[in-house]
Amino acid sequence: MTKLILAKQKCSECLCTPKRIVSKERAAQIISDCLDTQNHFVCHKSSDGEIVHCRGVHDLHASQAYQMAIRLGIEVEEREMDT
């Protein structure tokens, strides 16, 4: 079954937190790119082959993929990423 996976909360190294693993400038560019393209950012803690939408970026805007999933009735699984 098709589903969209969204991080349940910001992970400990989220792009949108002070403990991010990239520079502040790079984080700002990634976030700006996501906002400009209405796209999501893949959580860096996603397992191989899975796409988990970053909660931090999602909280700033709902991506087109998320909005389409909701409209089409596709399941949205919220997954704990800091386990």
When pLDDT is averaged across residues 66-81 and rounded to a whole number, the result is: 94
13-38 pLDDT per residue, tens? 999 999 999 999 999 999 999 999 99
Structure tokens of 63? 């991506």
Whole-angstrom distance, CA of residue 40 vs CA of residue 59 = 11
Q: Where are the domains of the chain?
A: 3-79
How would residue 1 be classed by pLDDT, with cut points 50, 70 and 90? Answer: low
> Sign of dihedral through CA atoms 23, 26, 32, 33?
negative
pLDDT at 83 over 80: no
SS3 38: coil
User: Residue ranges of the alpha helices (H) in 1-83?
Assistant: 24-37, 55-60, 64-72
* pLDDT score of 5 more than 90: yes
